[in-house]
Structure 1
Amino acid sequence: MIGTLNDLVDLVDRHTDEPIDLAGFARSHGTTEYHLRRMFAALAGLPFSEYVRRRRMTLAATDLVSGGTGLLDIAVRYGYSSVEAFGRAFRSVHGASPSDVRTHGGPFTTQAVLRFRLTVEGSRPMDVTITDRPAFVLAGHAAQVPLMYEGVNPHIRQHIASIAPEEHARLKSLNDAEPEGILAITEGSEPDAPEGTPITYLHGVALQDDSATPEDLASISVAAGAWATFRSTGPFPQTLQDTWAATAREWFPSNPWRLRPGPTFVRYLELTESHADAEIWMPVERA
């Protein structure tokens, strides 16, 4: 996977005037677009589409400063059919117009070429279990919340606090499939969605595929397949988020599995204000 990501980075600079065929690139490298986008975003810290935009605008700024090339020619060189569209993209990255940068030489923001490397961090083993699960349903109380990668999401906390205690008991009584217990489920975002993207958060439980779902609950149908379950124990939420990040940074690059589309969720075995013993469930398939 590390080599594939570096090949993808090289492709960005070789093809500046057309959309990147990420699906075709993924197929030619024996993986999927979904997994590739998830791994790129997790390791680079930004979505692939955002990297492409920043990188192209970095190269465009260099062309502008160098002079001698018309603005429309530069726009076309970096995949834009009009000066107006190019100008909007340029300003969104650099905070200045192309004419300002051409006239004054800057300021502009530089996106360096990314280079991915596999490093050993802490040499700690990851506690993971791979299981095959039949199709099942996730049902519970849903809310639209902004995606957050660090810290406690106050929108999720507010949603959970708004659920009456008797509803928690009812959810547990409906739970008739693995995994057991209340689950913190996220679904509905792109695999490389940036922070702030609206996602569906479901405070719910797992039901058998043929179980009836109460009409007042939202539900997500989950296809049969393999699941990777990562155990995380330690200070909350830092350890849980570190474990989540380590799946992309350490586990997936060195194991023959890749993510497949589907909801991810956390099963809390024990949770206090400052400590959590939990499982992270991710849908996977053989790479």
Structure 2
Amino acid sequence: MEWLERMNHALDYIEENLKSEIDYKKIAQAACCSEYHFPRMFSALSGITLSEYIRRRRLTLAAFELQKNDLRILDLALTYGYESADSFSRAFQKTLGLKPSDVRNKGKLLKAFPRISFQLSIKGAIEMEYRIERIDFELSIIGKGVPVKTSQAAEAIPALWNSAQLDGLMQKLIDLSWENPKCTLESLLGICGKQAAITEDEFTYFMGIRYDGHVPDGMDTLVINHSTWAVFPNIESAWKRLYSEWLPASGYELADLPCIECYFPPNHQPENELWVPVVSL
């Protein structure tokens, strides 16, 4: 229940600041969560991105004010964080289905997006396999990073790997991946966010391998120094269940570092794993 309370504290902060600048770091702090993981957690639980939720709530409140008060559209736009009446009107119509000037007309059908509230639901009838791995050395990962829209990640990431196969990057990584094995992360890796703190709408997806040698031309290096990892088979299902099922009951919290998707060679079981950096509560 404490976990739910913390998530709802974050929602309280959002509601209290819809008419002012919202600090994403403070949202995460209200939830006692890392700035890296909170947007992903929110999206996994609610089904929409954090920035889209904030946008919907602001425009919903703006519509209520337009119906009740004789306010200038420009004043309302500035109140809810828009730089001009035009940008506000475009967002308003796209999200709520009407122009701001039409809201005052009676009988018009208008959308409203209520505040989210996180509540307890009973899950867990299906077991969730995991193991804890300890890595006592610095992970040096070489490869290439590509910006990905958070809302398009499910389609974009497989497309990136397909492109890497066609342009030869994947084979280069495969050829290097077993030169100096040190742990069970000796395979193709996808790091979800090159930086510890990511923006809500976009992150860098880094395709690479763990490697200690000379960095080949055209590749970058990403260094991750963390010891405790929760490891889950089947990346797709692990992402879906990590935040809502495993984390609240685990006795761990998420470290402020990227997660790692590990893709094994053909005929390996499991086919892939999700590595999640964690710290004990």
TM-score (norm 1): 0.78
Q: C-alpha displacement at 1:184, in angstroms?
A: 3.0
1:230 and 2:232 are equivalent in the alignment: yes
Q: C-alpha displacement at 1:95, in angstroms?
A: 4.3
Q: Give the structure 2 partner of residue 120 of structure 1.
A: 122
Task: Give the counterpart of 2:210 among 202, 206, 219.
Answer: 206
CA contact (8 A) 1:138 1:219 kept: yes
Q: Give the structure 1 partner of residue 279 of structure 2.
A: 285
How do residues 15-164 of structure 1 correspond to structure 2 at under 5 angstroms?
Answer: 15-27=17-29, 30-80=32-82, 82-103=84-105, 106-133=108-135, 134-140=137-143, 147-149=152-154, 153-163=158-168
What amino acid sits opposite 1:258 in the alignment? E
Structure 1 pair 72/52, CA: closer, same or farther in 2 (3 Å)? same
Q: C-alpha displacement at 1:246, in angstroms?
A: 0.3
Paired residue secondary structure (1:246): helix
Q: C-alpha displacement at 1:199, in angstroms?
A: 3.4
The whole-number CA distance in structure 1 between the counterparts of 2:185 and 2:217 is: 21
Task: Give the counterpart of 1:8 among 7, 10, 20.
Answer: 10
The whole-number CA distance in structure 1 between the counterparts of 2:83 and 2:170 is: 57
Structure 1 unaligned spans of 5+: 233-239
Q: Give the structure 2 partner of residue 266 of structure 1.
A: 261
RMSD: 3.2
CA contact (8 A) 2:6 2:30 kept: no
What amino acid sits opposite 2:274 in the alignment? I
Structure 2 unaligned spans of 5+: none
CA contact (8 A) 1:260 1:285 kept: yes
Q: C-alpha displacement at 1:137, in angstroms?
A: 0.7
CA contact (8 A) 1:145 1:155 kept: no
CA contact (8 A) 2:78 2:84 kept: yes
Poorly superposed stretches of 4+, deviation over 6 Å = none
The whole-number CA distance in structure 2 between the counterparts of 1:169 and 1:32 is: 32
Q: Give the structure 2 partner of residue 241 of structure 1.
A: 236
Deviations 1:109-142 (A, max 9, x none): 3212212123233422322222332212112355
Deviations 1:87-108 (A, max 9, x none): 3432342243211223365443
What amino acid sits opposite 1:183 in the alignment? L
The whole-number CA distance in structure 2 between the counterparts of 1:165 and 1:18 is: 46
What amino acid sits opposite 1:135 in the alignment? E
Task: Give the counterpart of 2:246 among 242, 251, 261.
Answer: 251
Structure 1 pair 242/105, CA: closer, same or farther in 2 (3 Å)? farther
What amino acid sits opposite 2:238 in the alignment? T
Paired residue secondary structure (1:16): coil
Q: C-alpha displacement at 1:251, in angstroms?
A: 1.2
Q: C-alpha displacement at 1:51, in angstroms?
A: 0.7
The whole-number CA distance in structure 1 between the counterparts of 2:219 and 2:33 is: 35
The whole-number CA distance in structure 1 between the counterparts of 2:179 and 2:41 is: 35
What amino acid sits opposite 1:242 in the alignment? S
The whole-number CA distance in structure 2 between the counterparts of 1:152 and 1:165 is: 14
The whole-number CA distance in structure 2 between the counterparts of 1:188 and 1:165 is: 18
Deviations 1:45-88 (A, max 9, x none): 22222211101101111222234344344335434465344334
Q: Give the number of aligned pairs.
A: 273
